[in-house]
Amino acid sequence: MATRIDGKKLSAELLTSVAQNAAEFQREFGLRPGLAVVLVGEDPASQVYVRNKTARATESGLNSTEYRLPTETTQAALNDLIEELNSDPEVHGILVQLPLPEHLDEEQVIAAISPAKDVDGFHPENVGALSVGKDALVPCTPQGCMIMLQQTLGNLSGKHAVVVGRSNIVGKPMASLLLQANCTVTIVHSRTPEPEKLARQADILVAAVGIPEMIGSEWVKPGATVIDVGINVIERDGKRKLVGDVDYAAVEPIAHAVTPVPGGVGPMTIACLIKNTLLAARAQQ
């Protein structure tokens, strides 16, 4: 049976060290590292994520502020808020929760955030830096996945990693980080013929597709390490339930190690966000 990779425990360890770092920052500079979290609209999942992010940030000693804007917010109004946060010396990190309502241009919003305060690592400047292996703010979810992989496997050099999904938030930066760690990297996506055949060659399988329990036993090589990035709400036996992109019960007997949902990648993402805010704050002082 596979080892369950405990994201809750690992994230708590990471948050403890970040909280110490935040306290040192406050002693050195006389202010707390500041994080601004912006949510536009009423998306229920986004509301939960944003609440968790600000709660963990506050617990870790950050000065965390939530900006909740109505769905009908204009691009100009959102840009004005970002400009204000860009020039606020008490704000070191800015996160605009995605997805945005349809009338807003996500690309333009991301580009408006100062790259130095872009704790999501989504700004083209940070994306480019990651892609050429320069110091950058690294997207939180893939960063959390790498910590779990390194904790489970040690050195990743030479391993074959298959990433399922090619989003800008997870799939693409995940592939960059795995490549930087000297993995052989394959990305499979919705247009890949027989993706499970490629996935079955993977020592490391990262699922980031957003389809509940899509990855069954036929996708997994015996002894592989499986990272499940999916957070999907389904209804089963008349109850709402949170499941990943991986069919945990089917994969558990085959894999070496698997991340659960909930309690896997999710808490690591938040811990990395807080770590990024500290890195950004130190770089700005």
- Binding residues for ligand GUN, rule: CB under 6 A, are 95-98, 120, 140-141, 169, 269
* d(C-alpha 101, C-alpha 77), whole Å: 14
97 catalytic per annotation: yes
120 catalytic per annotation: yes
Whichever of 69 and 153 has its CB closer to ligand GUN, that residue is 69
- Give min distance, CB of 142 to ligand GUN, in A: 9
Residue 138 makes CB contacts below 8 A (sequence gap 6+) with 121, 126, 130, 173, 177, 272, 276
Whichever of 73 and 97 has its CB closer to ligand GUN, that residue is 97
Whichever of 64 and 186 has its CB closer to ligand GUN, that residue is 64
Contact 207, 246 (CB under 8 A): yes
* d(C-alpha 106, C-alpha 122), whole Å: 11
* d(C-alpha 61, C-alpha 78), whole Å: 27
Whichever of 186 and 276 has its CB closer to ligand GUN, that residue is 276
- Give min distance, CB of 139 to ligand GUN, in A: 7
Contact 230, 187 (CB under 8 A): no
- Give min distance, CB of 269 to ligand GUN, in A: 6
Residue that the structure tokens 């996506």 belong to: 189
- Give min distance, CB of 238 to ligand GUN, in A: 28
The token pair at 210 is 């957003």
Residue that the structure tokens 């999710």 belong to: 266
Q: Which of 6, 8, 75, 97 is catalytic?
A: 97
134 catalytic per annotation: no
- Taking the CA atoms of the chain, what radius of gyration do you get in angstroms? 19
Residue 128 makes CB contacts below 8 A (sequence gap 6+) with none
Whichever of 116 and 255 has its CB closer to ligand GUN, that residue is 116
* Best CA proximity match to 126, nearest among 67, 65, 56, 176: 176
Contact 155, 204 (CB under 8 A): no
Q: Is 145 helix (H, G, I), strand (E, B) or coil?
A: helix
Q: Which of 118, 120, 203, 247 is catalytic?
A: 120
- Give min distance, CB of 24 to ligand GUN, in A: 26
List, by residue number, the catalytic residues. Answer: 53, 97, 120
